[in-house]
Amino acid sequence: MSNTTGVRNTTATVADDHIDSIPGGPATAGMGIHVVDHRRGHATVTMKVTEFMLNGFGHCHGGFVFMVADTAFGMACNSDGEPNAVGADTSMNFIRPVTLGTTLTATGTRGTTFGRNMLCHTVITDSSGSVVAELNGRCVQVRPK
């Protein structure tokens, strides 16, 4: 079954209606973020750096690098059942500058789960495959009202 992003969902453990609702809504679409892979505990997304995203030094503003990382992080944490995990804590390490025209790839992998908490590690690479940043985060599953 294909979701609304055109990515084929071949992982039976992810509910079909849930996978269709994840990709971040208008903010994600507006930044040109595309879902490459989304399955249980894992998500990969890409974003091409445009002129709009550059800072005063001619590099991609860190907020945009964070946004693509945060998207993969959130999708990896929300890949089971209802989308009810929200980011509670993140730490981002910027390793090298990103230039205009670079396609960033963010791959989030969910790790340890404890109680309602989930840890996730996200690696962001540039067009050549070099790591440009890493994000470590913690999501918390919120309880339905």
Specify the CATH number for the domain of residue 83: 3.10.129.10
Measuring CA to CA, which residue among 16, 51, 56 is closest to residue 32?
A: 51
3 lies in some domain:
no
Residues 17-60: pLDDT tens digits?
334 444 567 778 788 999 999 999 999 999 999 999 999 999 99
112 lies in some domain:
yes
Q: What is the pLDDT of residue 95?
A: 98
99 lies in some domain:
yes
Tally of structural domains, the chain: 1
Q: What is the pLDDT of residue 55?
A: 97
5 lies in some domain:
no
105 lies in some domain:
yes
Q: Domain of 133? A: 16-141
Confidence of residue 79 (pLDDT cuts 50, 70, 90): confident
